[in-house]
Amino acid sequence: MTAPTTLSPTRAVLAQIVHGATSVDEIASRTGLDVGVVGLAIDRLVASGHLTSERLVGGCPDAGCGACPSGRDGRPGCGATGAGAPGAGPVLVTLGPVVRR
């Protein structure tokens, strides 16, 4: 874990993504932020256009949430009620252009 940052949580999360962090757990470890805070910051970055997200084709793994890279302790990490549920499955999040609204 790195030293706590003086950046806002959203800016700290974006900085870690820019520097190569590839998972919520990795970002949380690097910033010292709770994984829930990291998730909220990612949601905000998507809403603001700093990140883009799209559901990956193929949906949930056959072995269920335990085999999913976003799963935690056998539970869905995507916010769905379970594997195959509406909105379930891995999502690709990428850096994108800032969209001014």
CA pair distance 11, 89, nearest whole angstrom: 26
CA pair distance 58, 56, nearest whole angstrom: 6
pLDDT, residue 85, reads 63
Look up the pTM and report it.
0.62
Q: Distance from first CA to last CA of the chain, Å, rounded?
A: 36
Q: How would you write the pLDDT of the chain (101 residues) with one tens digit per residue?
A: 555 557 899 999 999 998 988 888 889 999 999 989 998 999 899 888 888 877 665 667 667 677 776 666 767 666 666 666 656 655 667 766 555 55
pLDDT, residue 86, reads 59
Contacts of 33 (CB under 8 A, 6+ apart): 9, 12, 13, 27, 41
